[in-house]
Amino acid sequence: MNMRADGATWLFDLGNSRLKGAWLRERELAQSFALAWDAPDFDAVLQVQLARWPGPARTLVASVVSDSRADRLRVALQTWPKAEVQWLRSPRQGCGITGYYRVPERLGIDRFLAMAAARETAHGGPVIVAGCGTALTLDAVDAHGAQRDGLIAPSPALMLRSLHGATAIAATNHDAFAQGDGDDTARALRTGCTRSATALVEWYCAQQWAEMGEAPVYLHGGWAVSLKPMLEENQRRARVHLLEDAVLRGLALWAA
């Protein structure tokens, strides 16, 4: 196993569904990977992956998970005891963004970093950011870098889980939903949950455009690909973009 310190910067995004990681090669993400928390042999696979990277001098971690899950990364990083490890919290100001939360740290660091990545992609202009993973998060930053009111709601996946636990109809069609096939009921569930999320994103965009003018919309997370064509159906004037690895990109900006 590679235990040397080669001066690399390692980046980790600890989300509700999976851990994502990359290291920085001249400010670009290198050898990025994603590993589901419930993956078989998670800890062994993580160690194998990290051993392929150049040794770290610094590690930046953005985490929204429980301590028990975060500890799995902490244990893995003990192989490189001399590396500086920073567990980040959202600042009042940073990466060109000024937050409005009374207690800045209460803003999820994943949301802050995704806003930073979107704003950098938009060359410092106003942006709307929709994260659609386990939860649906909606945030915006105006032309001056000020964070605007955000929203958090269930994602399509979480909506389905709620139906799955409360109704027999959803329970019998859960697998079909996840696989993207099935009979009319499965399609109704899939479309209803996705359309519900899309409608909230559209409403949020309309509110933000009315206040700060038209701004591009950046989508990230597991359900972003499903939401994008639906948003483009009714919001043709909006520039809707996928922003891959949004949190890791934000970590790269923080590192710089």
Mind telling me the catalytic residues? 110
CA 225 → CA 76, 174, 204, distances in Å?
A: 32, 20, 19
- Kindly give, in sequence order, each residue whose CB lies less than 8 Å from that of residue 112, ignoring residues fewer than 6 positions away: 90, 91, 94, 95, 97, 99, 250
Element (H, E) at 87: strand 84-87
- Kindly give, in sequence order, each residue whose CB lies less than 8 Å from that of residue 128, ignoring residues fewer than 6 positions away: 138, 139, 140, 204, 205, 208, 215, 216, 217, 218
Residue 35 CB neighbour total at 10 angstroms: 16
DSSP string, 208-230: HHHHH----EEEESTTHHHHHHH
Please state the φ and ψ torsions of residue 120, each to the nearest 5 degrees.
-65, -40
| Residue 146 DSSP class | B
The CA distance from 15 to 217, in Å, is: 21
